[in-house]
Amino acid sequence: MAADILLPMHITSFLERTLRRRSFLRAAGATAASSALLLAGCGSDDDPTPTNTTASLTFSSNDNGLLNFAYLLEQIEATFYQKVVDAFPSDFTAEDKAAFIDLRDHEVIHREFLKFALGSNAYDRSLPGAIIFNFSSFTLTTRAGVYAAARTLEDLGVAAYNGAAKRIADAGYLALLSKLSSVEARHAAFVREQAQPGSFAGPDVISATDGLDVVKTPTEVAASLVSIVPLTLVVDGLTNLS
Amino acid sequence: MNFLHLLARLATLDTEHTALTQAPRRAALSRLGQAGTALLPALLAGLATPAQAGQKEVRTRLDALKLILKLENLQNAFYSRALGLLPGGPANPATFFGSAATRDAIQTIQSQQQKHAALYGQLITNAGSALDASPNYDFTGSRNGTQPAVYPDVYTNPDTFLKVAQLLKDASVQTYKGQAAFLQSDNYLLETTVRAHSTEARHAAHIRTLRRQRGATVKSWVSATDTAITTAGSPQHAVYTTETNINQYVSLSGLVTRVPFDSTLPINVGTPALSASALLAKVAEAFDEPIESVTAESILQVFTY
């Protein structure tokens, strides 16, 4: 059970439509299947009887699934940076602010790039609203907290792209994703250094044995997203790609 | 794709790139030396993204590994000299960098560089191929005094040293990116290479951060707002000419389509909104570009004799 989701009554019709689209989504590279989906705009204060439901998002075992997974990661990063930019910590310097506006812009560009590349295959084309990400595991009111959160997300992004490379079939997509991944690594080095001086390429990310950067399978990446994404991410199909 | 067209395309590519597919390369008797393995991915990439001429290169996996090793060996020598681990560096390596933090960072980079060099050397020898002889290095760019030095104070002025470091790191990220295309047929080599690639990108960002801390106008990511460190017409300039690119291509329903960053994509989300040129500068920042092997070689040649 990844998420307990309160579902306001007025969402029901959206859900019915969404569930009818399940077969379409499966073909499109990602499947949203659930007894409930968390929807944007469900800010109602109504308190219907809470029901425990499991919503899941299944990524298909192909390039579209991998691109959708990258798209989800970029959505998370863009949302995170927008949240920081909307309410900078009081101890942020002018330099911090400028850097975070850059970071926000880059991630929005990555997100929209991947969405465009996916076209009708984007997993959320047929969802009635955006997924609401949960950043409550981070402290976003202090400079230190924000940089630590950014470090976690950027290192995860680098690890995810490094893990995706050998699973991508299309050479063009491989080339495109590598254009994004090194920018993520630049971000990671920058925010790590701000979080802790001297840590830009620390032993927790760069192997002391061979100098290689962190790599994670889609399954490992999904496990790191449990607190952030209120849906169970089903990525075994991606991990099994080679 | 029509198969005859594919064959025609293959023939064209072979003609264009004979220099890179010379028979002696294949004589390495290594499974890595099989040109065909790299051909198909490179071909498809070339067709998917017509603006990237570099993707049409045809290289073997062995070619790719050797270029990466050359790059890592050169950088390892560059940092080892600076730290006094090899002769030819600063008169007093202990104080050259001005701060312990900078020296520590350079040590971290050198140590990881050395591991990359050892790893790629091993990958090549394990595959049964001999390593190329090490060249001589001259990081002033004078090629052992045979031409005017480009960076005469590389080991007497830490700002010059960091400028050359940035150039080499940015070029390294681009070189890895370019060579990864030729390693796609081997999962282990590809994953190793993308992991070394992102390590290099972390280094590149940090060298830029160090320069900014010393007063240079430079972001940790490659930006049009960075003060230029190369001059037009030099081999080094190729590192930055491609980084202003805002044209990315994807395949949509079988059609090669330019991503409309400059028109319909909803990416101008700031308050106040950015000007068109400022927005496209951010687009360029958000993508690191590859360089072709010949470009990478010409940059390495500046420091080699």
Kindly state whether residue A238 falls inside one of the protein's structural domains.
no
Interchain pair B194, A161: CB under 8 A: yes
| pLDDT grade for A4, boundaries at 50, 70 and 90 | very low
The answer to whether residues A195 and A151 touch, using CB atoms and an 8 Å cutoff, is yes
SS3 B250: strand
Q: Which amino acid is at B283?
A: V
Residue B27, min C-alpha distance to chain A (Å): 27
A100 at the B interface (CB within 8 A)?
A: no
Is the preceding omega at residue B272 within 30 degrees of 0, hence cis? yes
Q: How far is CA B106 from CA A208, B23, B80, B83, B94, in A?
A: 16, 40, 9, 8, 12
Alpha helices in B158-262 (DSSP H): 158-180, 187-213, 238-241
Nearest Cα neighbor of B229 from B287, B288, B299 is B299
pLDDT of residue A105: 98
Whether the per-residue pLDDT at A8 is higher than 80: the answer is no
Q: What is the CATH number of the domain that holds A110?
A: 1.20.1260.10
Tell me what the mean pLDDT of segment B74-85 comes to: 98
B206 at the A interface (CB within 8 A)?
A: yes
Interchain pair B286, A183: CB under 8 A: yes
Kindly state whether residue A68 falls inside one of the protein's structural domains.
yes
Kindly state whether residue A11 falls inside one of the protein's structural domains.
no
Nearest Cα neighbor of A7 from A118, A119, A132 is A132
Q: Which domains does chain B have, with CATH numbers?
A: 3-244+287-301 (1.20.1260.10), 249-284 (no CATH)
Q: Please give the Cα distance from B258 to B251 (Å, whole number).
A: 9
Helices (H) and strands (E) in chain B, counts: 11, 2
**B56 vs A48: which has the higher pLDDT:** B56
Tell me what the mean pLDDT of segment A25-34 comes to: 46
| pLDDT grade for B57, boundaries at 50, 70 and 90 | confident
Interchain pair B194, A181: CB under 8 A: yes
Whether the per-residue pLDDT at B188 is higher than 90: the answer is yes
Kindly state whether residue A36 falls inside one of the protein's structural domains.
no
**Helix orientation angle between B35-48 and A171-195, rounded to the nearest 10 degrees:** 80
pLDDT of residue B6: 37
What the block records as the tokens of A99 is: 């850097």
Kindly state whether residue A209 falls inside one of the protein's structural domains.
yes
Nearest Cα neighbor of B17 from B49, B43, B51 is B43
Q: Which amino acid is at B208?
A: R
What the block records as the tokens of B77 is: 């020598």
SS3 B129: coil
**A134 vs A15: which has the higher pLDDT:** A134
Interchain pair B269, A179: CB under 8 A: no
Q: Please give the Cα distance from B220 to A102 (Å, whole number).
A: 11
- The 10s digit of each residue's pLDDT in A90-114 is 999 999 999 999 999 999 999 999 9
Which structural domain, as residue segments, surrounds residue A186?
63-224
- Nearest Cβ partner of A174 from B112, B180, B202? B180
Considering its fold, how many domains does chain A have in total?
1
Whether the per-residue pLDDT at A80 is higher than 60: the answer is yes
Is beta strand A55-59 parallel, antiparallel or unpaired with respect to A232-234? parallel
pLDDT of residue A30: 54
SS3 B29: coil
Q: State chain A's mean pLDDT as an integer.
A: 84
**B101 vs B58: which has the higher pLDDT:** B101
- Write the CB contacts of A72 (distance below 8 Å, at least 6 apart in sequence): A57, A123, A229, A233
Tell me what the mean pLDDT of segment A124-149 comes to: 93
Kindly state whether residue A134 falls inside one of the protein's structural domains.
yes
Residue B301 Cα to chain centre, angstroms: 14
Whether the per-residue pLDDT at A36 is higher than 60: the answer is no
**A19 vs B130: which has the higher pLDDT:** B130
| pLDDT grade for B56, boundaries at 50, 70 and 90 | low
- Write the CB contacts of B139 (distance below 8 Å, at least 6 apart in sequence): B78, B81, B88, B151, B154, B155, B164, B303
The answer to whether residues A182 and B170 touch, using CB atoms and an 8 Å cutoff, is no
Q: How far is CA B211 from CA A184, B83, B170, in A?
A: 20, 18, 14
B103 at the A interface (CB within 8 A)?
A: no
Whether the per-residue pLDDT at B112 is higher than 70: the answer is yes
pLDDT of residue A126: 75
What the block records as the tokens of A195 is: 């979080």
Task: Quote ipTM for the complex.
Answer: 0.84
Kindly state whether residue A58 falls inside one of the protein's structural domains.
no
Residues of B with Cβ-Cβ distance to A186 under 8 angstroms: 201-202, 204-205, 220-221, 288
DSSP code at position B131 = P
Specify the range with the lowest mean pLDDT, choosing from A28-32, A133-137, A167-171, B58-62: A28-32
**A70 vs A13: which has the higher pLDDT:** A70
- Write the CB contacts of B288 (distance below 8 Å, at least 6 apart in sequence): A178, A179, A182, A183, A186, B173, B174, B177, B201, B222, B243
Tokens 């949509």: give the residue: B252
Interface probe for A, chosen from B172, B175, B202 (most Cβ of A below 10 Å), is B202
Kindly state whether residue A212 falls inside one of the protein's structural domains.
yes
What the block records as the tokens of A156 is: 């995860």
